[in-house]
Amino acid sequence: MMLKKLFGEQNMGSKQKNIWLRIISIFCIMIIAFVLMLTLVMCIPNSAIKQNYDRSMEVFEQEGDGWNRVYTYASGSMIDNLTDSIIISGTMVNDNCSPLSNALSGNGYSRYWHGYLVWVRPLLVLFSYLDIRYILMVVLMFLLTACTLGLNDRLGRGTAWIFTLCMVLAYFIMVPWSLQFCEVFLVTMTALVYITKRYSASKTVAFTGEMFLIIGMVTQYLDFLTAPLVTLGLPLCAVLLINAKELGRDSIIKNWAVLIHSCITWAVGWAAGWAAKWIVGTAILRRNIIEDALNQASFRVSGNDTSKVSRITALAKNIYSAMPFSNVIGKGEKGAMILVAVLYIAVFVLMAVLWIKYRKKTESAVYLPIAATALLPVAWVIVMGQHSQIHFFYTYRMFIISWFALLTAYAGCIDWRALKCSISGMKKNRS
Residue 14 lies inside a defined structural domain of this protein = no
**Cβ neighbours of 260 (radius 10 Å):** 14
Cβ(201)–Cβ(246) below 8 Å = yes
Give per-residue pLDDT as tens, 114-131. Answer: 999 999 999 999 999 999
* Burial profile 113-127: b = 16 or more Cβ within 10 angstroms, e = fewer: bbbbbbbbbbbbeeb
Q: Is the pLDDT of residue 423 over 90?
A: no
175 in Cβ contact with 81 (< 8 Å) = no
In a domain, 377, yes or no: yes
d(CA 54, CA 354): 58
Domain that holds residue 304: 26-430
Report d(CA 366, CA 430) in Å as an integer: 37
Residue 10 has pLDDT above 50, yes or no: no
Tens-place pLDDT, residues 200-221? 999 999 999 999 999 999 999 9
Structural domain includes residue 396: yes
Expressed in percent and rounded to 5, the helix, strand and coil fractions of the chain are 80, 0, 15
Q: How confident is the model at residue 360 (pLDDT cuts 50, 70, 90)?
A: confident
- In 64-200, where does DSSP find H-type helix? 81-89, 99-105, 117-126, 129-155, 157-169, 179-198
Q: How far apart are CA 193 and CA 213, in angstroms?
A: 17
In a domain, 6, yes or no: no
346 lies in a domain? Answer: yes
Higher pLDDT, residue 309 or 2? 309
**Using one digit for the tens of pLDDT, what is the confidence trace for 164-203?**
999 999 999 999 999 999 999 999 999 999 999 999 999 9
In 3D space, the residue among 370, 361, 235, 225 whose CA is nearest the CA of residue 293 turns out to be 225
Which range (18-32, 213-227, 307-321, 371-385) has the least confidence?
307-321
Q: Please report whether residue 8 resides in a domain.
A: no
What lies within 8 Å, CB to CB, of 24 at 6+ separation is none
Q: Rounded CA gap, 301 and 395, in Å?
A: 14
Q: How buried is 430 (Cβ within 10 angstroms: 0-12 exposed, 13-18 middle, 19+ buried)?
A: exposed
Residue 7 covered by a domain: no
> Is residue 12 in some structural domain?
no
How many structural domains is the chain composed of?
1
